[in-house]
Amino acid sequence: MPTRYISLVLLLVAVPVSAWAIAYRPMNNAVHSASDEIRQRTSKLANFDEINIQYREMKTITASLRKTNAESMERIPSSHNADQWLESASDAALSFGLVVNSVTTSGERDEGEYRILPVDFNVHGSFPSVYKLLQHLEQMHRLSRIDTLTVHRIDNDTVEARVVSHLVFGEGDTE
């Protein structure tokens, strides 16, 4: 076999092998690493729709909280105006058939950013009437909270209820 043929055969074998080693192999590695990177980024984007939905829900909830907070702030007067609240609560109790035993206040005090005036409201009558009174207190256009509620059965048709409500008003000391 002449050297020329062997050289030609070696050249014919060496060209594809060197092309594979020099061009195709690095290209295949680059394609493989690019496909791995695409796969990783795609897996990260798989939850993107869910995260967007959660974000939109969070924005809706935040807007609702801002609106509710603004509405609550409108319900806080600058002074206690207890006489208006007491008149409305007493009138409601009488209209629901309750007997008002006593109404007392405990004096204003600071509670965080605002002041409160505790009002101790004692009534007796039917339980549905006491429940209607509580609904009335809840629906008043004034921010208050029921701190204590005790209900004792006197007989089958009558209960005695004590409602200690805190009337929220004005800003407290900021020192």
pLDDT of the residue at 96: 95
DSSP 113: T
Nearest one of 165, 95, 83 to 132, comparing CA atoms? 95
Please tell me whether the overall predicted TM-score, pTM, comes out greater than 0.75 for this model.
no
Token pair in block for residue 113: 């950013």
DSSP 58: H
| Residue 102, C-beta contacts closer than 8 angstroms, at least 6 positions apart | 120, 121, 122
pLDDT in tens, 35-88: 999 888 888 777 788 888 999 999 999 999 999 998 888 888 887 778 888 899
Read off the pLDDT of residues 87-127 as tens digits, 9 standing for 90 and up: 999 999 999 999 999 988 888 888 888 889 999 999 999 99
**Given this model, what pLDDT does residue 125 score?**
95
The whole-angstrom separation of Cα 50 and Cα 63 is 20
* Model confidence at 21: pLDDT above 80: no
Contact 170, 78 (CB under 8 A): yes
Q: Which of 55, 73, 75 is nearest to 63 (CA)?
A: 55
Token representation of residue 3: 């050297």
What per-residue confidence (pLDDT) applies to 174? 42
d(CA 115, CA 81): 12
Q: Which tokens go with 35?
A: 């496909």
Residue 149's pLDDT is what?
95
CA 84 from chain centre, in angstroms, equals 32
pLDDT band at 15 (very low <50, low <70, confident <90, very high): confident
Q: How far apart are CA 106 and CA 118, in angstroms?
A: 6
Angle at 96 (CA atoms; ends 92, 100), nearest 5 degrees: 70
CA-based nearest residue to 109, from 173, 174, 175, 162? 173
Task: Please report the pLDDT score of residue 175 as a whole number.
Answer: 43
Angle, helices 127-139/82-95, rounded to nearest 10 degrees = 150
